[in-house]
Structure 1
Amino acid sequence: MISFFSSGIRLEQQKSRTMKAKILALPAPQVLYVPLPGAQALADRCVRAGETVLRFSQLSMPGSHVAVTSPVSGTVTGFQALPHPVRGAVECAVIRQDGAEQELALRAPGMEHTPDGLVRLAAAAGIIDEYDGIPLFKKLKRLRRMKIDWLGANVLDDEPYVCSGLAVLRENPQGVQKGLELAALAVGAQKTGVAVVSGFRARSYSRVSGRIADLLVGSGGRYPARPGLLKRLRREGHRPGLIGVQALEAFAQAAERGIPQTTTVVTVAGEGVSRWQNLRVPLGMPIEDLLSACGRKKRTAVIAGSPITGNRVEELCAPVTADLRCLIVLPEAMQTVKVFPCIGCGKCEAACPVGIMPWDIYRRLAGQEYPDAGQLLRADLCCACNACSVVCPSGLDLSGSVARAMEIKERG
Structure 2
Amino acid sequence: MTQPIFSFPGGLHPADHKAESNTAAIVPAPLSARYRVPMRQHAGNPAKPLVLPGEHVLKGQAIGCLDGRISATVHAPTSGRVVGVESYPIPHPSGLTDRCVVIESDGRDEAVPASRLDWRNLAPEAVCEELEDMGLVGLGGAVFPSHIKLEPAAGIETLIINGAECEPWITCDDRLMRERAGEIMAGVEIARHLLGAREVLVGIEDNKPEAIAAMRAACAGTGAKVVVVPTKYPSGGAKQLIELLTGLEIPAGKLSTDIGIQVFNVATSYALWRAAELGEALVSRVVTVTGHVARPGNYEVRVGTPIEELLQLAGGELPGATGQLVGGPLMGFDLEDTRAPVTKGVNCIIVTSDALFPPRPRAMPCIRCGQCALACPVRLQPYEMYLYAKAKDLDKAKAYNLADCIECGCCSYVCPSHIPLVDYYRFAKSELLARGREQRAAETARERHEFRSFRLEREKQEKAERLGKKAGERLEAGAVAADDPEAARKKALLEAAIERAKKAKEAAPPPANTDHLSAAQQAEVDAIEARRAQAGTEQTVADKT
TM-score normalised by structure 2 residue count: 0.67
Q: Is the 8 A contact 1:45 1:62 kept in 2?
A: no
- For 2:162 and 2:177, how far apart are their aligned partners in 1? 10
User: Is the alpha carbon distance of 1:123 and 1:335 closer, same or farther for their aligned partners in structure 2, counting shifts above 3 Å?
Assistant: farther
Paired residue for 2:10, among 1, 7, 10?
A: 7
Counterpart of 2:410 in structure 1 is 387
Q: Which moved more, 1:97-106 or 1:173-182?
A: 97-106
1:149 equivalent in structure 2 = 157
Query: 1:38·1:62 contact (CA, 8 Å) conserved in 2?
Result: no
- Give 2:227's aligned residue: 216
Q: 1:234 Cα shift?
A: 4.9
Q: Secondary structure at the match of 2:150?
A: helix
Kept in 1: contact 2:177–2:211 (CA 8 A): no
**Alignment-mate amino acid for residue 53 of structure 1:** V
Q: Which has the higher contact order (CA 8 A, sep 6+)?
A: 1
The answer to whether the 8 A contact 1:147-1:187 is kept is: no
Which of 386, 407, 419 does residue 396 from structure 1 map onto?
A: 419
Aligned with residue 289 of structure 1, among 285, 302, 309: 309
Q: Secondary structure at the match of 1:193?
A: strand
TM-fit CA distance, 1:349: 0.7
Q: Which moved more, 1:82-91 or 1:20-29?
A: 82-91
- Residue in 1 aligned with 2:326? 304
What amino acid is aligned across from residue 284 of structure 1 in structure 2?
Answer: G
- SS of 1:19's partner is coil
Shift of 1:328: 0.7
Letter in 2 for 1:278: N
Structure 2 CA distance, aligned partners of 1:69 and 1:365? 39
User: Do residues 67 (structure 1) and 87 (structure 2) align?
Assistant: no
Partners of 1:109 and 1:275 lie apart in 2 by 38
- Unaligned 5+ segments in structure 2 are 1-7, 250-258, 437-545
Structure 1 distance, partners of 2:211, 2:244, is 24
User: Which is further off, 242-251 or 175-184?
Assistant: 242-251
> Do 2:385 and 2:397's aligned partners in 1 also have CA atoms closer than 8 Å?
no
Whether the 8 Å CA contact 2:117–2:276 is kept in 1: the answer is no
* Distance in 2 separating the partners of 1:276 and 1:236: 38
Where 2:50 maps in the other structure, the secondary structure is coil
Q: How far does the alpha carbon of each residue in 1:280-336 deviate from its partner, in whole angstroms, 9 at most, with x for none? A: 011100010111111212442100011111111111111111111111111157352
**Cα-to-partner distance string for 1:18-56 (whole Å, 9 max, x where unaligned):** 1112101111211111222389x9994332211112222
Equivalences for residues 199-348 of structure 1 within 5 A: 199-203=206-210, 206-209=213-216, 210-211=219-220, 213-218=224-229, 220-225=230-235, 226=237, 227-235=239-247, 239-270=260-291, 272-294=292-314, 295-298=316-319, 299-331=321-353, 334-338=357-361, 339-348=363-372
CA distance in 2, matches of 1:185, 1:17: 38
Partner in structure 2 of residue 129 of structure 1: 138
Of structures 1 and 2, the larger Rg is shown by 2
Q: Distance in 1 between matches of 2:243 and 2:180?
A: 29
Structure 2 CA distance for aligned equivalents of residues 79 and 371 of structure 1: 37
CA deviation string 1:44-88 (max 9, x = no partner) = 433221111222222122243222222211111111222223274
Is the contact made by 1:148 and 1:240 (CA closer than 8 Å) also made in structure 2?
yes
Structure-1 separation of matches of 2:430 and 2:15: 33
Aligned in 2, Cα 1:47/1:20: closer, same or farther, shift over 3 Å?
same
State the match for 2:186 in structure 1: 178
**Does the CA-based 8 Å contact 1:373-1:409 persist in structure 2?**
no
Tell me, what secondary structure is at the counterpart of 1:208?
helix
Distance 1:32 1:327 in 2: 18
Q: Tell whether the 8 Å contact from 1:166 to 1:206 is kept in structure 2 after alignment.
A: no
What is the alpha-carbon distance in structure 2 between the residues aligned to residue 43 and residue 405 of structure 1?
26
* 1:56 equivalent in alignment to 2:67: no
Instruction: Give me the whole-angstrom Cα distance separating, in 1, the residues matched to 2:354 and 2:34.
Output: 30
Corresponding residue number in structure 1 for 2:169: 161
**More strand, by proportion:** 1
In structure 2, the CA distance between the partners of 1:204 and 1:178, relative to structure 1 (3 Å rule), is closer
Distance 1:156 1:113, change over 3 A: farther
SS of the residue corresponding to residue 214 of structure 2 reads: coil
Matched residue of 1:222: which SS? coil
Distance 1:6 1:43 in 2: 39
Return 5+ residue gaps in structure 1 as ranges: none
Mapping of residues 349-360 of structure 1, within 5 Å? 349-360=373-384
2:92 maps to which residue? 86
Whether the 8 Å contact between 2:212 and 2:226 is mirrored in structure 1 is: no
Q: Secondary structure at the match of 2:100?
A: strand
Question: How far apart are the structure 1 equivalents of 2:111 and 2:398?
Answer: 58
Percent identity of the aligned residues?
28
**Which residue number corresponds to residue 491 of structure 2?**
none
CA change 1:46–1:363 in 2 (3 A) is closer
Residue 102 in structure 1 maps to residue 110 in structure 2: yes
* Separation (CA, whole Å) in 2 of partners of 1:91 and 1:165: 29
The 3-state SS of whatever aligns with 1:264 is: strand
Tell me: CA distance 1:42–1:390, structure 2 relative to 1, closer, same or farther (3 Å): closer
**Judging changes above 3 Å, is the alpha-carbon distance between structure 1 residues 406 and 29 closer, same or farther for their aligned structure 2 residues?**
closer
Q: Are 1:115 and 2:124 matched, yes or no?
A: yes
Shift of 1:362: 3.2
| Kept in 1: contact 2:331–2:409 (CA 8 A) | yes
Distance 2:63 2:210 in 1: 40
Read off the aligned partner of 2:380 and give its amino acid letter. Answer: I
Answer yes or no: is the 8 Å Cα contact 1:233–1:240 preserved in 2: no
1:125–1:405 Cα change, 3 Å: closer
Q: CA RMSD in A?
A: 3.0
